[in-house]
Amino acid sequence: MALGVVVLLGGLVAAFVLRAIWQWRRLAHIPGPFTAGFSKLWVFREAVQLRLPGAYHEMGKRYGSLVRVGPNELITDDPDILRRMMAARSPYTRGPWYEAFRVDPSRDNVLTLRDDHLHNARRAKILPGYTGKENLSMEGSIETQIARLVELIETKYLSTDQEYRPMDWGVKAQYFTLDVIGELAWGQPMGFLEYDADVYDYIKITMTSVPAMMVISTYPMLTKVLHSPFFRKILPKDTDKIGFGALIGIANHVTAKRFKPDAPDHHDMLGSFIRHGLNEDEAAAETLIQIVAGSDTSASTIRAVTLYTLSNPPVYQKLQAEIDEAISMGRISSPIKDAEGRQLPYLQAVIKEGLRMMPPASGGMFKQVPPEGDTIDGKFVPGGTQIGSNVMAIHRSKKIYGPDADIFRPERWLEAEGEQLARMSSTVDLVFHSGKFQCPGRGVAWMEFNKIFVELFRRFDFSLANPVQPAHIRNAGLWLIDEFWVRVTRRNEERSRS
């Protein structure tokens, strides 16, 4: 009996060792940290310590464009390869990495669907809702939430020579994006700006949930275990009063009302989803992911652009001067229109530079190599391998953006011309992915960016409350930025009314 146990254990150990050797040899021709060839402990450690995107960047500097970061995982910093992988007819599919971001464990959404046919069908049904053609009030809805944000600042957070009222811009920026996407998604904001509060403890829970999702994504098997019936009770559910579960409940409730026989048609995103054929379960799933993915990434960019602008006084002065000149020449309305914002060259340069310096979604986003394999960077990559984006390396590339790519300098977008400018632009666009995986909310996000900075900087002067440590910043695949305290004062009264 004892001998049998020893033989069994020995066999298991031998099988484990042989599998580890096979895994290592399979991608041994691609450089990377030695331990990454045998286990995921390296990537797990970096994820737990909230430094994974930065660690990928460092590995790229050390090992080159294509780097092995796990037994079956590679990352690349080549934009051309990524665009080819994501092209409309590409045989690449999403890898199991995405399953960790299923906010509602019971159903997939357009972000987590891995089957290409299902993903493409779902994407075709939801895209019209994001374009604004079926929601003619989209721009007006964003303007309404900007007006509420302005009112909140004016009533509670304006400082004077006699009174100091600090504002945590990290929190208020997300209140704004959450209410914007709430109104666009189902026709009403969720009340973050109205109550000036973290409704449902959403932000508080996001700050802990997003890092946990990133850690889980490094071990896809963990996702399957956690989403199993055994753990279902501890995961978010629609009866929760706070966090993701509360939003699941709202999405389910709002969607159910829309599917009642006597329900009127609505010209918001949810109404568009229904008109284009989503069933109730699918519509609820898409409405939910809009709130989570759309608000977090947009808020991240708004914080990043503000932080870099306030930290660079010449940039801030030049941006305000462009806004002031456009107002005086009658080239922008009050509130500014999206089309007008796109005609302000320095504003566009500042936004692009903010997106480049702090890409809003900087996780690996691994895609699966097709069964026949592929040749990348002159090396054969066998089918089934997972290839992710080395996001920080891509957007700090000196070959693409110039020798000073590590610093925030919007002028690079005004100095570049021809092929160089086209390559810079197509590369920064990768923050929204591309091809069949392009973020459907790209246009909505740009509309927010084209409006909010003009409307705030035409009315107010912002300054960092603590220039030495302006904010608490971590990167868990999404930038987590809080304790971003600013002092806000009113600008010239006549200009702010213009």
- Known binding positions: 439
Reference 140, options 345, 327, 346, 333; nearest CA is: 333
Cis? peptide before 31, omega within 30° of 0: no
- Contact 366/97 with Cβ under 8 angstroms? yes
The residue to which tokens 């089309």 are assigned: 339
Residues 11, 52: Cα–Cα separation, whole Å? 35
Q: Is 329 helix (H, G, I), strand (E, B) or coil?
A: coil
- Given the DSSP bridges, would you call strands 73-76 and 386-389 parallel, antiparallel or unpaired? parallel
For the CA atoms of 381, 385, 386, 388, what is the dihedral angle to 10 degrees? Answer: -10
Residues 295, 244: Cα–Cα separation, whole Å? 13
Instruction: List, as residue ranges, the binding site for heme.
Output: 439
| Angle (CA) 176 135 109, round 5° | 70
- Contact 206/218 with Cβ under 8 angstroms? no
Tokens of 103: 């906010």
Listed in sequence order, the residues at least 6 apart from 165 whose beta carbon sits closer than 8 Å to its beta carbon are 156, 157, 158, 159, 488
35: Cα within 13 Å, side-chain hemisphere: 6
